[in-house]
Each structure stands twice: as C-alpha cells, then as structure tokens.
Chain A
Amino acid sequence: GNSVTQMEGPVTLSEEAFLTINCTYTATGYPSLFWYVQYPGEGLQLLLKATKADDKGSNKGFEATYRKETTSFHLEKGSVQVSDSAVYFCALGTSGYSTLTFGKGTMLLVSP
C-alpha cells in the first residue's frame, strides 16, 4: 500500500536558518506529491505540489523536488521566518478515488 514517512519533529531553528524537512514515500503507480502547512488552530493549506518525476514545486520561498530514484520529496527553504512556525505535512495521491495519503506531520518552531 501507499505510505509517507516524514522526519519527526519538532524542528527548532533560528530565524534566517536553512530548513530541510525530509519526506520519503512508497506508492504504486506514479503518484502526485504535495506539501501542506497547518498553522495553529487552522485547517491545512496546500503549500506546493509536483506531479511527475524531476518536477520542482515552489511557493513562498519553499521548494521540493520530486525524486523518483530516491522516492523522496524533501521540503527546503533558504531562510526561515518566525511566521513559518507551523506543522508541515507531506502527502501523496495516486489514481483511483482521489484520496491522499499523509505523513504524520513535522512541527517547525522558528525563534527570533
């Protein structure tokens, strides 16, 4: 079956530090990959996506590249801000009834 594995948090960084949150997946077929962000007390927001191998998704300074050879979709940002503090979820979708498989989420805490 499909599965997503994310690094456990919390990830604690100082403002302007470089961020990497690892995500690896197992899936049948050719999944689409997503990163969602959840701010405290809110629903999930789609941060970025990639639909095929070697695609790079990017948004708000965040980037992730779909690596089929390593089955990975690591999230990166060059310089984090306090406002980036949130929980980040990696997810994949495959053909069928359009459900998504989510990782357990990684909490990011950025201090000034």
Chain B
Amino acid sequence: SQTIHQWPATLVQPVGSPLSLECTVEGTSNPNLYWYRQAAGRGLQLLFYSVGIGQISSEVPQNLSASRPQDRQFILSSKKLLLSDSGFYLCAWNSGQTSTPYEQYFGPGTRLTVT
C-alpha cells in the first residue's frame, strides 16, 4: 500500500531564516505531487505541483520554491521566511493510473510558525 510522509511535523523559525520541508511517497511510482498551505481558519491554497522529476508548476507567486530531486520526493523551500509564511503545509499525491485520476491523498502535514 502507499504511504506519504512529511517532516518535520512542527517547526518554529525566525523571520529571515531558510526553510526546507520534505515529503516522500512510498509504494507508488511516478506520482503527481502537490504542496498546499492552510492558513489558520482558512481553506487550502495550492502552492506547487509536479508531474515528474524536475517538473514544477507554481500556482501562486511568493517567496517559496519547490523541487523534485527524485521520483517520490518533493521539497518545499524558502531562502528567507516571512511572518505570512506561517501555516499548516500539506503534501499530497495522486496517480493518473486510477479510475478517478483526480483524487489526492494527503500527508500528515507540517505546522510552521514564523516568529
């Protein structure tokens, strides 16, 4: 079966510091991968998605970036964090091979607090 991992689970970082969040998927190959942010009391905002190694699409301009160095690894980064980057970051995956190619499976999330 497939599983998705995210780490760290929680993170407290000062303004201006760098960021690296990691997401890995097990039990599948060539997944589509997604990064979402959920601000307090708000819905989900799609940040980036990737359909393959080295292929990144950005949905919202911001000071965040994403990379996919391996098939099942997706990394969210920032060179300098802003207070507005605080939130709950969720990674998700899906496979175009299923009968419903659009459903996504989510990781446990990373709670980021920028102080």
A44 at the interface (CB under 8 A from B): yes
Closest to B46 in A: A99
B27 at the interface (CB under 8 A from A): no
* Chain B interface residue number, banded: 20 to 34
A89-B44, A97-B32 given; A46·B103 CB < 8 A = yes
Interface hits, B33-75 → A, CB 8 Å: 34, 42-44, 46, 49, 51, 57, 59
Interface hits, B78-115 → A, CB 8 Å: 90, 92, 94, 96, 99-109, 111
| Chain A interface residues (CB < 8 Å from chain B) | 31-32, 34, 36, 41-46, 49, 51, 89, 93-94, 97-100, 102-105
21 contacts between A and B (CB under 8 A): A31-B102, A32-B103, A36-B106, A43-B6, A43-B90, A43-B108, A43-B109, A44-B106, A46-B103, A46-B105, A49-B100, A49-B103, A51-B100, A93-B100, A94-B102, A97-B32, A98-B32, A98-B94, A98-B96, A98-B102, A100-B104
